[in-house]
């Protein structure tokens, strides 16, 4: 969203907030998983109407299930720890494995083939763009749960939709979407959106979409604000910042 070259030409320094709360995003990923699995969103709406039926609310134990974590940076590692707390078997893939760690790294294809739940926690690059596509969907276990709280374009949304319609994918939790910039953070409740893929995903009973809110905690916002102020003070005092984008 920033033209770095133009900013440099005009002598404008661009700084970033490298990390604000890995816990916020990792906890949101687990919240999505618990919600879609135990049908908490459906149960809540039912009981609001005094409907206490249990029909269609069956989930499965997370304990003993295999979760595949793609990307083992700060957020990925926090999510792994949360999963271990539920008694889940955690396997992972990262192009740059953490040396000296006890993470059970596996080849990406093996993660796709063996995981009951797959959660994406990696950056968006040319290499990771649409890394989850028709080809990879054909490799996953039938009924797999997909979670993405990272970057929308990691997943080919049309391929994801096809995988859900063909019952290859059992459930999907998205806090990000590859065309989200047109819709997220705005209220379109009184309009008809033109993105047919997003509309169909949201309408499905086994899909949860939240509007890129995984970061939205009190602590994360405080960290964003404090780091931003520190960046400004560093530039004012020294002319540079360790968080400067170069």
C-alpha to C-alpha distances, 199 to 48, 55, 84, 204, nearest whole angstrom = 25, 26, 34, 9
Q: How many CA atoms lie within 13 A of 58 on its CB side?
A: 2
Is 212 one of the catalytic residues? yes
pLDDT at 144: 99
Asked whether the predicted pLDDT for residue 47 surpasses 90, the reply is: yes
Is 246 one of the catalytic residues? no
Catalytic residue among 28, 77, 121, 212: 212
Catalytic residue among 77, 121, 151, 178: 151
Average pLDDT value for residue range 77-100: 96
**Tens digits of per-residue pLDDT, 62-83?**
999 999 999 999 999 999 999 9
Catalytic residue among 27, 121, 178, 180: 180
**Tens digits of per-residue pLDDT, 149-176?**
999 999 999 999 999 999 999 999 999 9
Backbone angles phi, psi at 66, to 5 degrees: -95, 125
| Alpha carbon distance 58, 150 (integer Å) | 28
Average pLDDT value for residue range 137-142: 97
pLDDT at 198: 97
Is 77 one of the catalytic residues? no
């Amino acid at each position: 969203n920033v033209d770095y070259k133009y900013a440099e030409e005009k002598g404008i320094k661009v700084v970033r907030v490298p990390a604000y709360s890995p816990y916020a995003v990792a906890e949101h990923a687990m919240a999505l998983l618990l919600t879609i699995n135990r049908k908490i969103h459906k149960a809540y709406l039912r009981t609001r109407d005094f409907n206490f039926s249990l029909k269609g609310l069956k989930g499965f134990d997370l304990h003993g299930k295999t979760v595949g974590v793609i990307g083992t940076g700060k957020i990925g590692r926090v999510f792994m720890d949360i999963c271990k707390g539920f008694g889940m078997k955690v396997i992972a893939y990262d192009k740059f494995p953490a040396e000296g760690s006890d993470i059970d790294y596996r080849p990406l294809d093996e993660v796709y083939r063996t995981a009951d739940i797959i959660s994406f926690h990696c950056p968006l690059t040319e290499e990771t763009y649409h890394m989850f596509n028709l080809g990879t969907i054909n490799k996953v276990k039938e009924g797999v749960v997909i979670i993405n709280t990272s970057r929308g374009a990691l997943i080919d949304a049309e391929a994801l939709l096809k995988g859900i319609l063909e019952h290859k994918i059992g459930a999907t939790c998205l806090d990000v979407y590859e065309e989200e910039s047109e819709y997220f953070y705005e209220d379109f409740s009184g309009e008809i959106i033109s993105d047919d893929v997003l509309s169909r995903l949201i309408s499905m009973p086994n899909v949860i979409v939240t509007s890129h809110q995984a970061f939205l905690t009190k602590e994360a916002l405080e960290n964003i604000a404090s780091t931003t102020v520190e960046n400004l003070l560093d530039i004012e005092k020294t002319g540079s910042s360790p968080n400067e984008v170069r």
